[in-house]
Every structure is written in C-alpha cells, then in structure tokens.
Structure 1
Amino acid sequence: MVVRVTLLIKKLDTLTDEEFHNYWKGPHAQIFLGVPIVKEKILKFSLTRITFFQFRVDKTTSAVLAAQGLPVAEYDEGVNHWAASLDDIMAVGNMYKDPEYQRLVLADAEVFSKTKESKMMIRYDKDFVADGKVL
C-alpha cells in the first residue's frame, strides 16, 4: 500500500510569501531531490498550490474560514512525499540522521523556514470517491 508523508511548514518572518515560496519550490526542492535515497524511494513529490485543505496557503481564504469558526492550520506551505511502503518511508526518514543530509538539506531549510515548528504526518490514503464515482 502506498504511504504518504505530509510535512507542514512555516516561513521565516523575515521573508515575504513570494520569497518563501520561490526558494522552497526552487533551490531547496533541487537540493532535496539530489539526495540518493530520495531518488531511490520517493515515488512522487509535490508542492500543492491550492487553498483550504491543501498546501500553498491562501491567507485571505484562511482568514475568512477562521472568522467562520473553522480550525485553520497556521502553516505557510505543505509538501507530500509518496513511497511504496512504510519501510521505504522509514529508509528516507533515516536520512535525517545522516551528516551529509543535515549539512545540505536541513541546514538549507533553516534559510527559509521555522524548522522546529514543522509538523509531519505519515498516512495511508483510502479513496471513497474517484472520478466522481463512489468506490
């Protein structure tokens, strides 16, 4: 069963939204994609630019929803990684301990994000509707 990891991220206060998104989807994504275990184990990697439940946060829409009493997450971006199995996700997770990964990827994340405030979810997707049809 395919496994998805979702990482929710907050930008540094010193960056504009545009600076944050441009760095995140450009230089940082390229550094991450250059990691060998990522090339081997990650089936899909996406940064989504939609509002509400998805990931590039539309702050106007979020403010409207929050004013209506909905619990809106206070993050600036999200990323999804899909892998073939939990074992593959765990193999990718082990790279966080790797000195080279820490030097390249984690240090670069400090350039644009509040890494200590990031949150991660590991999940399995179960589709109930696909292509407009109930499964």
Structure 2
Amino acid sequence: MATKERVLKFTVMQHRNPNISEDEFHTYWTKKHAVLASIWLERNGILGYTQYHTPKATRDLAVGFADQIGWKLSTYDGHVEFIVRSVDDLSKAVQDPEYPEKIAPDEQYLLDPSTSMVTVGWEEVYILDGKLVSQGGAGTD
C-alpha cells in the first residue's frame, strides 16, 4: 500500500526575455529548455516539472471574464511548476555544477528574472476529471 506524502509545489511566474519574440520564447522553452532542464531536474531528485504556457492571445481569452468578476489579468508569459519533497531539493539542484554551466545561461537567454514571482504550497484536489473527489481533498500529497 502506498504511503501518502505531502509534497511542495513551487510555481514560478515568468516573463520572457524582452529581446526574444513571444513565438521564439514558447518554441525554445518547449523544444530546448525543457529537454535540458528535465534531465538535470530528474538527476537531482525533483519529483515533477511542468511548464504552463500563457501567450498573450491565450491570456486575452479571459479579459472579459476577468473584468466581469474583478480579477486582474496576469501578464506573465508562462509559469513553471516544480514538485519537491522539500525546499532543499531545489537548493541541491542549483548547487549541481550543471546549473551554472548549462541551465543558468539558458535561463538568462530565455527569461527576465527581474520580474519572476514564486509561490510555494501544496495542492488539494476537490474535482478531478469533472468528478467530485472528496470533501477532504486528494491533493498531490
């Protein structure tokens, strides 16, 4: 029987480097950076890595709805999510020699880190695949 474990989800909201186009950002992030980062993250024990692409045309789909209920629409080009057992897992990963050699330069090309925002917490799922899961949640823990 599997043992449940509460894990942390780091979400980093990111703007692209203003020197590259939106199309270049999304293509490079998917085809180049994801491959490079996935290998490095897996080797360092990261449990999950997900990219969430939010091009302007897609964000604009929510303008009317956001205005209707008083939400401010995010301007981030994408979010990245890491699933880890502890903050130390990500800290260990960036201490890996591959981070300053390969990952950090790739991020500098791709991102504007001066505007990145991070959240950390855990996920609780109440509806999954259109169905009520449970009243107590069934998150990624």
TM-score by length of 2: 0.73
Which residue matches 1:105?
103
Which residue matches 1:117?
115
1:72-102, CA deviations, whole angstroms, 9 ceiling, x for partnerless residues?
A: 222100111223x22xx42222333445312
Which residue matches 1:21?
26
Contact 2:59 2:73 in 1 (8 A): no
SS of residue in 1 equivalent to 2:16: coil
Which residue matches 2:51?
47
Q: Number of aligned residue pairs: give it.
A: 126
Please state if 1:38 is matched with 2:42.
Answer: yes
Q: Distance in 1 between matches of 2:45 and 2:98?
A: 18
SS of residue in 2 equivalent to 1:7: strand
Greater mean alpha carbon deviation, residues 25-34 or residues 97-106:
97-106
- Between the two proteins, what is the percent identity of the paired residues? 20
Contact 1:4 1:81 in 2 (8 A): yes
SS of residue in 1 equivalent to 2:110: coil
TM-superposed CA distance for 1:40, in Å, is 4.3
Q: Which amino acid aligns with 1:92?
A: L
Runs (4+) of structure 1 exceeding 6 A deviation are none
Identify if the C-alpha distance between structure 1 residues 40 and 101 changes in structure 2 by more than 3 Å, giving closer, same or farther: closer
Q: Distance in 2 between matches of 1:48 and 1:121?
A: 14
Identify if the C-alpha distance between structure 1 residues 93 and 72 changes in structure 2 by more than 3 Å, giving closer, same or farther: farther
TM-superposed CA distance for 1:125, in Å, is 0.8
Q: Which amino acid aligns with 2:132?
A: K
Structure 2: any 5+ residue segments left out of the alignment? 1-5, 135-141
TM-superposed CA distance for 1:33, in Å, is 1.8
Root-mean-square deviation over aligned CA pairs: 2.4
Q: Distance in 1 between matches of 2:55 and 2:42?
A: 22
Q: Which amino acid aligns with 1:61?
A: L
TM-superposed CA distance for 1:25, in Å, is 1.3
